[in-house]
Structure 1
Amino acid sequence: MSAEGTVPDVDELARRLTKATADRTSIGRISDEAPGFDLATSYAVQRRLRQSAGPQVGWKLGLTSRAKQVQVGVDEPIHGFLTGAHALDLGQPLDTSVLIQPRCEPELVFVMGSDISGSHITAADVLGATSGVAVGIEVLDSRFHDYRFTTPDVVADNTSAARFVVGAPVAVGGIDLRLVGVVLEKNGEVVATASGAASMGHPAAAVAWLVRALAEDDEGLRRGDIVLSGGLTAATPVAAGDVVVATVDRIGTVSLACR
């Protein structure tokens, strides 16, 4: 780590987070050691992680719901990347032994039907570029002790990305994604409920925010990309033997068994 008050070394931080993932051992907050660690530096760390992460399949939003912001003590949305290595197939169990402290949350997942980019993209633009929307379960796994982090910490940690599973997409025409009901169950018990509006008022608005954020780095969404539009409830911890089910009215149901 660099001297106190200066910007920390991006390569060093990327190596530290990569090692924590490989060792399945959580670490202390970067922000506690480096007062110069800011949001710009944290996204630079994330970009460095992308370079060695394998083929990218899409993006994810984080902290788009008030429930999640309260749970982890931050107050703004963030974004990360998804790779093929993160993906679980339908029916494939989650191997909790390779993770540190997994948690699951329900998502509305956008499948892009065309490229979209730009600094003035709206929710309507996103809906026009979307080929379908699916139910998803995202598995989070913070590399920081007890999920305690600042916004720069979690951004550098690729927004706690670990695994995800996505159901079959359906056409969005005629479905008001603000109003769809969302239920998260664990071992047959309802642990959380929400509506689509929990993600920045409308999940497509969250994706539009992502597109505008990516435009700052001359990036955008591409045809075929999937976008996890943000956890709609607080995330629930899981362990071997648990079964998590996410249901979104008019969209579908996805289940995930843990071993």
Structure 2
Amino acid sequence: MLNDQLRREAAEVLRGAEARRRPVRPLVELFEGIGAQDAYEIQLLNIRHRVRSAGARVTGHKVGLSSPVMQAMMGVDEPDYGHLLDAMELYEDVPVPAAAYCAPRVEVEVGFVLGADLPGEDCTVADVLAATERVVPALELIDSRIADWRITIADTIADNASSAGYVIGAGVDPREVDLKAIEATLTSGGELLASGRSDAVLGDPAESVAWLARTVARYGVPLRKGHLVLPGSCTRAVDVSAGRTYTAAFTGLGSVSLSFS
């Protein structure tokens, strides 16, 4: 465990790396003994800093490490999470400057837009479905302020679960689709880059949202009406390049695209 001063120093290291677009060595090398609890506190320090200093607003949350393969790779038995902010919202008709990020990648996700607050520690899949206004096609832009994506679980948690941006489409009522059987593809210039299915996310992406609601409740963080929840990627993450457009398409859900300049 780190003391409060070291946690503040770690938060400053990550803020500097993002501002200068110069990734740093893994925090586990810079701060001996850092653990998951430290990492969540570091994440919250930087979220609070952005809210206070830049007037940022929390618009939702994302879940990472939601597939068994990724959990095994990181040596953990549950996902992690990060915050989404209004400044992270991206748009299909506005190209994103790839050079504004350290090592950008995109992930394909079935997003949940909440029409009501979710309960906390006792949240169930039924609660998630009842509270969801619509499920949406989504692309998450992820980035790592840790050099070469050489991350451990503590690194990615502290780094806001590698969050950087998101774009969503219109979506549908969750009762109109089988949330466990949505086929998803990621293409660019007619080339298939990745494919997967929604049940790659904890067997049911709604289960991932329920897990998130229960988990963030421990930190006094609610999932509110109007929030977007990104429950985890249906496919592997793909590196992005300037000058290309990436399109995620979902059966029964529609598609969404993101271009990079």
Common topology (TM > 0.5): yes
Shorter-chain TM range is over 0.9
**1:27 and 2:24 equivalent?**
yes
Task: Tell me what 1:229 maps to.
Answer: 231
What residue is the counterpart of 2:130 in the other structure? 128
Summarize the alignment of residues 129-144 of structure 1 with structure 2, pairs less than 5 Å apart. Answer: 129-144=131-146
Preserved CA contact (<8 Å) 2:92 2:259: no
Structure 1 residue 90 displacement after superposition = 2.6
For 1:55 and 1:210, how far apart are their aligned partners in 2?
Answer: 19
Corresponding residue for residue 83 of structure 1: 85
Residues 244, 257 of structure 1: 8 Å contact kept: yes
Q: How many residues matched? A: 254
Q: Which runs of 5+ in 2 are unaligned?
A: 51-55
Is residue 241 of structure 1 aligned with residue 238 of structure 2?
Answer: no
Which of 35, 40, 55 aligns to 2:37? It is 40
Identity %: 35
Do 1:104 and 1:236's aligned partners in 2 also have CA atoms closer than 8 Å? yes
| Partner in structure 1 of residue 53 of structure 2 | none
| Structure 1 residue 169, shift from structure 2 partner | 2.4
Q: Determine helix, strand or coil for the equivalent of 1:9.
A: helix
Q: Secondary structure at the match of 2:129?
A: helix
Matches within 5 A, 1:1-259: 7=3, 9-53=6-50, 54-69=56-71, 73-75=74-76, 76-259=78-261
Q: Distance in 2 between matches of 1:213 and 1:33?
A: 27
- Does the Cα contact within 8 Å between 2:119 and 2:127 map onto a contact in 1? no
The one-letter code sitting in structure 1 at the alignment partner of 2:132 is T
Under a length normalisation based on structure 1, what TM-score does the superposition of the two structures give? 0.94
1:181·1:196 contact (CA, 8 Å) conserved in 2? Answer: yes
For residues 69 and 188 of structure 1, what CA distance do their matches in structure 2 show? 31
| Further displaced range: 199-208 or 213-222 | 213-222
More helix by percentage: 2
Q: Distance in 2 between matches of 1:63 and 1:6?
A: 24
Work out the CA distance in 1 between the residues paired with 2:70 and 2:183. Answer: 17
Q: Structure 1 residues 6, 88: CA separation in 2 closer, same or farther (over 3 Å shift)?
A: closer
The CA deviation at 1:132 is 0.3
